[in-house]
Amino acid sequence: MGKEAARHFVRLSAAKVILGCRDVKKGEAAKADIENTTQIKDIVVVWQLDMASYDSVRDFRRKVADLERLDAVVLNAGVATPHFKLIEGFESTILVNVISTFLLALLILPVLRESAVKYDITPHLTIVASDAHEQVFYSLSLRRGG
């Protein structure tokens, strides 16, 4: 979904489209695909963003804060794994799908507000989820006897 949203923004003549990717190599492949299908170059950039790391989320926010303008943010990272794993003190799917997603959203809101005031625009923040995210809570509930 994220790659298609990015492709759409490129087609809408965005000045810059940032792909925040855990795997920069895969992000560069997505960038190449977007450029090949749209025939529009030098719009998409790839930045490191690992939603399983608070430090990575904060680093990404710092880079976002340096942008001249921010019109739209689409947060769509998500994982669904059958294996229980603690990261940053939380179960991995809860961390990525919920905690880090909302942490990043809250950290980016002031940047969106600044753009709103400075450019008299209505910026947009979208958080994408799927039925797979719901399964995490269902699975955890079963483990606890719920």
Which tens digit of pLDDT belongs to each residue from 40-93?
999 999 999 999 999 999 999 999 999 999 999 999 888 888 888 999 999 988
pLDDT of residue 131: 61
Supply 91's token pair. 């179960």
Q: Which residue has the higher pLDDT, 139 or 86?
A: 86
Residue 113, pLDDT above cutoff 60: yes
Residues 6+ apart with CB under 8 A from 119: 69
pLDDT of residue 2: 85
129 in Cβ contact with 74 (< 8 Å): no
CB atoms within 10 A of CB 120: 7
Range 108-133 average pLDDT: 90
Supply 35's token pair. 């450029």
Range 109-117 average pLDDT: 97
Range 101-130 average pLDDT: 94
pLDDT of residue 116: 98
Range 131-145 average pLDDT: 54
63 in Cβ contact with 50 (< 8 Å): no
Average pLDDT value for the chain:
90
In degrees, rounded to 5, the angle at the alpha carbon of residue 79 between the alpha carbons of residues 54 and 14 is 75
Lowest mean pLDDT among 16-20, 92-96, 105-109: 92-96
CB atoms within 10 A of CB 21: 21
- Domains of the chain are 2-143 (3.40.50.720)
Q: What is the SS3 assignment for 77? A: coil
Q: How far apart are CA 140 and CA 146, in angstroms?
A: 8
How large is the C-alpha radius of gyration of the chain? 16
Residue 120, pLDDT above cutoff 70: yes
pLDDT of residue 139: 52
Supply 104's token pair. 């990043």
